[in-house]
Structure 1
């Protein structure tokens, strides 16, 4: 009798509707991956082993497969939200238990950990004070909110255009307070080892057709000599610059030019600044500054941070500097369908999934991380509603086979 076939069909249709219902319920769950019910047929065993006259006895659930296709990526107002564009899972630590997630909705705890709604902490690699990421065993990422220490200026890149039309001057007549004694000048803020700001001003005195003397002052105080100048205390230049007939800088004497900055702030004194004039030229045009890049900075407080595509967490500081604080890592599996779903948008590793391959985003076949983005559920509502209609018809059809069988049984019972 075919009651068993119909009953198995009803059960299969019911489980299929449960799966569809779960997909529909999670259509707005960030990082959710839809499930698909897969069935297999059932045949009774026979002693003869012949299958010529076998009739199946129904259907059964073969497995519930999750479809790890990419969900749509949409913008978010939270800079800590992250979306994975490609393969991989976020590696989370929950009290020492490692879980994996595609939902990248994170927030910062008071201790500085990056945490999801289930309390899992994002793991990765930490960086030292210089922003160098230490690749090793993954650890829970904690944002270092300490101030960025100041850095003394040691190098100053300065690319100029000097006006070749200027008349030559006498270098020994140079006085930083008298603009008629120098051709041009420019200034830039520099920093000592404690982060105190000082003004380094450089002066350029044309002494011949292709030769210029370079003088400097530190907060208005001449470097290398004192005012007033005299025959016994002449102004001392940092050095000279030589130009070829094409107006290109051919060299400096000495090379490089060095400004010794004496300070009374309690910082290291003097601190030497190497001035690199590479690219400076002498043309028949007005004086101009093309590049002015000193490398020091004052202390700064952390004002925010961003996550780059390679997972680097880049902190922004009030002094305009940036520094790498850590790096997010991703994991991928040879068989993601072997992962066990434990709820809260998380999976755990199993023997069927295989061991994870863990690396930085964008490497080893892993996807990229996008900041201030979330990955939507990959549920196609239109398809699920059509599947729901199909499952309903399937349920009705199996119920009809049971009803028909019941009518046949009733006919047999009524035979006398």
Structure 2
């Protein structure tokens, strides 16, 4: 029996040496997990023997346990597919459908664009749908598609806009024109007469030498003449008017000009009338009479108007009604104000513009502009152009227009579309956009025509839900739109959550997959498949697959590898102890041999 005990001891020491040597050999192996030999004592006894007298039959190897603790952090690399798990979990790889689990994260892209380990097994994870969203629950071979990203036409524009409520409205009264009745509310007409001029028979004076002289004049007398007095009234507010006064179509004081004499008339709450005139030429004597003194009679000679030799007949009394016509028509409509004709090249015809780059189906970039025009206290117009042209008829410059009205609190009360623009839930949709290009730019033959591409079939939805009007600077957050040009793959990155992002030359990023990690109820039950790979067994339990960072699973660190968790100092101590045990068991064996030899010789 002593021989067997010593032999068992030698065998156990040898196993300790094997395990420690294997650990030391793999001290530089990425993802390697150290092992430890575990032993149990052996006893034998007869069925009727006394247990207390059992000496023991030596030792046997009970188990080679693995240490799945975190390995050393390897040096950083610039390789995106060098991956390290920080925390619990195993990478999942597939070899023709057979799954293995590893902590070694040195992966590469093979000739078919699949992500594989050093043995050619494909890394497992979750795929993505057409919108780039990860499809959880369905395992797939992860692949890096190196093809180009196709162009995408713009279909949505998101933005937050505030329009400054303190900005003046661009709507203005029409310029007064006596020949255009649309420029005034009412007119009063009456005939006045000047005082004429007496004949001059002679004029006494001195000649150039200072001598008394008499000049005979042939100036005949001028009979009093009639003149046409017109007062034009423009109702500018509910209780305010502007009055334009002309005599013979000329300025009452300076007949050399056709500009009218201007006065502002206001009806006060108590019913009284106040009047302020140019040069304070018109006075007020009552609420119905307003004399104009010092007017100059005029006459036309050979098509030229000038002051007449006739004198005026005293002040003209301007009245506010004549011949049944009331100049201050309180029930009449206020003169409508109109905004100047919109011209994208003239900044005086709009308050603010915002530009957004949009894309057609071929990836051509165009500029969509939103020009905002304040045309009332709480009302605006929004003119939409693409590349400075009508979006649906690019050979025209006229914009598509929507109307915006705000509540007193700055929120949108109503939003109304126009031709080519529809509105629903404060989203303005540009329909039937025709992408265009210019031919012979800058020449007389310049022409805009379709470029052969298409816009979004559903139109471009311009989100105006975050539109407001407050007393703050007009501004917009950076507009977000979903279109882009075609692009080539430039960079791949992997996040801590295992999501693989592809970056393209068009500035777009796209999720192309997500790594999965596996955990087990009993890691010690895993079956080693190689120095750094394991397979599941009934003892380990089925693999639980999930995304990195969820359910207590570790995260992914890209550009770094997990080193071995072997502690070299401990393994060297283990070698010494195993060697000592081996030598001691060898001594026990040789001693047993000596005793046996002595016994044989004695016999």
TM-score grouping bracket, smaller chain normalisation: 0.7 to 0.9
Q: Give how far 1:365 is off.
A: 5.0
Q: Give how far 1:319 is off.
A: 1.5
**Corresponding residue for residue 434 of structure 2:** 262
Determine the C-alpha separation between the residues in 2 that align with 1:258 and 1:40: 79
**Corresponding residue for residue 397 of structure 1:** 584
Cα pair 1:312 1:326 within 8 Å, conserved: yes
Matches within 5 A, 1:214-253: 214-223=382-391, 238-253=401-416
Cα pair 1:258 1:274 within 8 Å, conserved: yes
Q: Give how far 1:412 is off.
A: 4.8
Determine the C-alpha separation between the residues in 1 that align with 2:117 and 2:59: 40
**Corresponding residue for residue 232 of structure 1:** none
Matches within 5 A, 1:162-311: 162-170=163-171, 171-223=339-391, 238-254=401-417, 255-260=426-431, 261-263=433-435, 264-269=450-455, 272-311=459-498
Determine the C-alpha separation between the residues in 1 that align with 2:589 and 2:531: 40
**Corresponding residue for residue 545 of structure 2:** 358
Cα pair 2:127 2:138 within 8 Å, conserved: no
Q: Give how far 1:250 is off.
A: 4.7
Q: Give how far 1:284 is off.
A: 4.4
Q: Give how far 1:269 is off.
A: 5.0
Cα pair 1:238 1:257 within 8 Å, conserved: no
Q: Give how far 1:98 is off.
A: 2.5
Say which is worse superposed, 8-17 or 110-119, in terms of deviation: 8-17
Cα pair 1:160 1:291 within 8 Å, conserved: no
Query: CA distance change for structure 1 residues 167 and 5 in 2, over 3 Å: closer, same or farther?
Result: same
Cα pair 1:118 1:344 within 8 Å, conserved: no
Q: String of CA shifts for 1:59-87, please: whole Å, max 9, x gaps.
A: 11111111222224444321112222333
Query: CA distance change for structure 1 residues 415 and 337 in 2, over 3 Å: closer, same or farther?
Result: same
Q: Give how far 1:248 is off.
A: 4.6
Q: Which runs of 5+ in 1 are unaligned?
A: 230-234
Cα pair 2:113 2:143 within 8 Å, conserved: yes
Count of aligned pairs:
411
Say which is worse superposed, 303-312 or 219-228, in terms of deviation: 219-228
Cα pair 2:384 2:399 within 8 Å, conserved: no
Determine the C-alpha separation between the residues in 1 that align with 2:94 and 2:51: 52
Secondary structure of 1:44's match?
coil
Greater gyration radius: 2
Query: CA distance change for structure 1 residues 44 and 112 in 2, over 3 Å: closer, same or farther?
Result: same
Secondary structure of 2:78's match?
coil
Determine the C-alpha separation between the residues in 2 that align with 1:334 and 1:159: 51
Q: Give how far 1:214 is off.
A: 0.8
| Pick aligned residue for 1:325 from 501, 507, 512 | 512
Determine the C-alpha separation between the residues in 2 that align with 1:270 and 1:7: 83
Determine the C-alpha separation between the residues in 2 that align with 1:141 and 1:344: 24
Cα pair 2:521 2:541 within 8 Å, conserved: yes
Query: CA distance change for structure 1 residues 228 and 350 in 2, over 3 Å: closer, same or farther?
Result: closer
Q: Give how far 1:268 is off.
A: 2.6
Secondary structure of 2:28's match?
coil
Cα pair 1:215 1:236 within 8 Å, conserved: yes
Determine the C-alpha separation between the residues in 2 that align with 1:17 and 1:114: 38
Say which is worse superposed, 92-101 or 125-134, in terms of deviation: 125-134
Determine the C-alpha separation between the residues in 2 that align with 1:62 and 1:328: 37
Q: TM-score, normalised by structure 2?
A: 0.62
Matches within 5 A, 1:355-394: 355-363=542-550, 366-394=553-581
Secondary structure of 1:203's match?
strand
**Corresponding residue for residue 31 of structure 1:** 31
Determine the C-alpha separation between the residues in 2 that align with 1:237 and 1:115: 55
Cα pair 1:80 1:372 within 8 Å, conserved: yes
Secondary structure of 2:348's match?
helix
Secondary structure of 1:315's match?
strand
Cα pair 2:92 2:100 within 8 Å, conserved: yes
**Corresponding residue for residue 349 of structure 1:** 536
Say which is worse superposed, 26-35 or 293-302, in terms of deviation: 293-302
Q: Give how far 1:409 is off.
A: 4.6
Cα pair 2:389 2:396 within 8 Å, conserved: no
Q: Give how far 1:283 is off.
A: 4.3
Determine the C-alpha separation between the residues in 1 that align with 2:145 and 2:396: 51
Query: CA distance change for structure 1 residues 403 and 285 in 2, over 3 Å: closer, same or farther?
Result: same
